[in-house]
Amino acid sequence: MILLLAGTSDARALAVQVKKAGYEVTATVVTDNAAIELQRTEVKVKIGRLTKEDMMDFINEHGVKAIVDASHPFAEEASKNAIGAAAETAIPYIRYERASQAFTYDNMTMVSTYEEAAEVAAEKKGVIMLTTGSKTLQVFTEKLLPLSDVRLVARMLPRLDNMEKCQQLGLPQKNIVAIQGPFTKEFDQALYKQYGVTVMVTKESGKVGSVDEKVEAAKELGLDIIMIGRPKIEYGTVYSTFEEVVHALVNQTRS
């Protein structure tokens, strides 16, 4: 049995490849929608966020031979839990991550944290569009909503819990873009124009996360961009292709 943390669309595709390589796979996801996508592939699915202890219990109960961590580049807690669980149960930990991208743009500000991004956005003012999801929305609403010279627009997945969170944080309905991608550059440009966006906030999620489309669309319109860099985590060896992950599994799970 392989326990695979599958928080992204490419991670779910990786789960299928690992299964095709002859391994029994259980993939963990957070949302019901992600589970539905995986269930169509006949990969076993476990829904919900897992603590380190949850993972250790699952490993011991099901005889897991390795953890493949294909969680989102910004799912810092999930990765740390997986690293700890693998270490304490003495099984291999294998990290898959989308390749990083390099961007060159005079009007781009690179930051290390969401808090720093909110500070920079407050200084720039104007119409600020968040494309960073709902998890850290509060960081931005607390900093930006009280400002009279800032309009905060948030783009996120069209989920009920996201809408409830927006309501709790006081984000007006007219400033919520509830939609699921991926999106083309042309779509992003139309969205920026519709809302009169002057600053776009994103994070370095990788090409599969459609970051390049968002950035190119903003660059062509001359918008300011605030880019949040990936968390610094000691993963050990990181693989960026499915073939490398399968090869690592074969080498590290031989009895």
Measured distance CA(177)–CA(156) in Å, rounded: 6
The two structure tokens encoding residue 247 = 């090869």
Please name the residues in contact with 60: beta carbons below 8 A apart, sequence gap of 6 or more: 89
pLDDT in tens, 94-143: 999 877 766 778 899 999 999 999 999 999 999 999 999 899 999 999 99
pLDDT in tens, 44-88: 889 888 999 999 999 999 999 999 999 988 888 999 999 999 999
Predicted structure pTM score: 0.79
Measured in whole angstroms, how far is the alpha carbon of residue 120 from the centre of its chain?
22
Question: All domains of the chain, ordered by start, with CATH?
Answer: 2-99+232-252 (3.40.50.2000), 108-228 (3.40.50.720)
